[in-house]
Chains A and B, each alone.
Chain A
């Protein structure tokens, strides 16, 4: 498999299963196609909330790291904030907050 094909493989699989989900949803489950754009809008909103939580987490994390360095005199690496778990946890925060907001209406 060429590097280009390997790069595009996730997109291909994503496209294939998305099409399958659409056909199952619209055909077998009777979901309204018109509601799909509204669902995508809600997803974009949740993603935006995730980005917002990530920015807040990074800002708070930076203050905590720099503060810990100053207060304790010990070195704490700022690279702690570049861990891959932080964006994932931020997205979890966003989804919980989004659903909380929805259920509070």
Chain B
């Protein structure tokens, strides 16, 4: 029991140190930038905006979903690709489609991939949509921390992926940094799960 007490104290100290490092140092921001890699904003066949977090019942997109779609519109307006692919749940793609059309993207330039729940499903459905049209070179819009896994999944399907992460620095306040570290941890666990189950 004494050994268990010591083990718990070490675990508690480790947890406390992680909490302090995550909240009060730029550690999560550095990890965020590292996972984002270098953006490759070059001409492509399509801009793929991955789903994230869906939309509320009143059609309001989550913060991250909104950031992504706005970045996608920005890339489209820069003339980097003639197509904007919006994926996610039905509500999310519907809300995104209304938004991007309101921002001036013509309906003919928008492709929706709805009712997908996982990154693998997204990659497969986007592959079914674009690859038969010989559109292999894509600009991938996602959060910085999503880039390693989503890029690998899309490349496995057959795409040449140009990363276009939304932002690389991340939040500067303790609460935001804690949330970022939680998301980084979740993403790294997801990456490990995809590798262990042979999806990468």
Contact = CB atoms under 8 A, between A and B. Distances in A.
Interface of A: 3, 6-8, 10-11, 41, 43-52, 75, 77-79, 81-82, 84
Contacts of B186: 79, 81-82
Given A46-B12, A47-B15, A49-B8, 13 more contacts: A3-B173, A41-B9, A44-B12, A47-B12, A48-B9, A48-B10, A51-B11, A51-B15, A52-B11, A78-B190, A82-B183, A82-B186, A84-B182
Interface in B1-26: 5, 7-16, 23-24
A47 B20 CA distance: 14
B120 interface: no
In the A-B complex, the 6 residue pairs with the smallest Cβ-Cβ separation, listed nearest first, are A47-B12, A48-B12, A48-B8, A48-B11, A44-B12, A51-B15
Interface string B132-168: 0000000000000000000000000000000000000
Given A3-B172, A77-B117, A79-B186, A8 B24 contact: yes
18 contacts: A3-B172, A6-B172, A6-B173, A7-B173, A8-B24, A11-B24, A41-B9, A44-B13, A45-B8, A46-B12, A47-B15, A48-B8, A48-B11, A48-B15, A50-B12, A51-B12, A78-B190, A84-B182
A47 B172 contact: no
Interface of B: 5, 7-16, 23-24, 117-118, 172-174, 179, 182-183, 186, 190
Given A51-B15, A77-B117, A10 B174 contact: yes
Contact of A50 (B10, B15, B183): B15
B174 A51 contact: no
Contacts of A49: 8, 12
Contacts of B11: 47-48, 51-52
Contact of B16 (A44, A77, A78): A44
Contacts of B173: 3, 6-7
Contacts of B23: 10
Contact of B9 (A45, A50, A78): A45
Nearest to B14: A51
Contacts of A48: 7-13, 15
Nearest to A76: B117
A95 to B, nearest CB: 12
Contacts of A82: 182-183, 186
Contacts of A78: 190
B6 to A, nearest CB: 9
A7 B172 contact: yes
A10 B173 CA distance: 10
Contact of B12 (A6, A45, A75): A45
Contacts of B9: 41, 44-45, 48
